[in-house]
């Protein structure tokens, strides 16, 4: 499961870099943002986001 999530996050970060036409030197920022998006996105297995389950607070996602 962890390897699948790692591949998913790397694929998302590579897609963001390619779409924005940024050099590979920005991969860490793209990976951090992909992780953030994963944590604030809803999941099929739970009815809330992973961050809401962990912190028990509703996140403000208006900046997205």
Any domain includes 36: yes
Any domain includes 61: no
Q: What is the DSSP string of 32-54?
A: HHHHHHHHHS--SSSSS-HHHHH
Residue 21 has what DSSP assignment?
Answer: T
Any domain includes 62: no
Please tell me the predicted confidence (pLDDT) of residue 36.
87
Please tell me the predicted confidence (pLDDT) of residue 53.
78
Any domain includes 60: no
What is the spatial distance between Cα 23 and Cα 18, in angstroms, rounded to a whole number? 8
Please tell me the predicted confidence (pLDDT) of residue 45.
72
**Spatial CB neighbours of 53, under 8 Å, sequence gap ≥ 6:** 46
Any domain includes 30: yes
pLDDT in tens, 1-59: 889 999 999 999 999 999 999 999 999 999 999 998 888 877 677 777 777 878 877 77
Please tell me the predicted confidence (pLDDT) of residue 13.
96
Helix (H, G, I), strand (E, B) or coil at 1: coil
Please tell me the predicted confidence (pLDDT) of residue 22.
95
Q: Which domain holds residue 39?
A: 2-55
Please tell me the predicted confidence (pLDDT) of residue 10.
95
What is the spatial distance between Cα 10 and Cα 61, in angstroms, rounded to a whole number? 22
């Amino acid at each position: 499961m962890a390897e699948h999530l790692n591949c998913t996050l790397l694929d998302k970060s590579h897609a963001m870099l390619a779409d924005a036409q940024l050099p590979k030197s920005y991969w860490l920022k793209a990976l951090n943002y992909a992780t953030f998006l994963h944590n604030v996105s809803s999941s099929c297995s739970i009815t809330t986001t992973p961050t809401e389950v962990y912190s028990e607070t509703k996140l403000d996602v208006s900046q997205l």
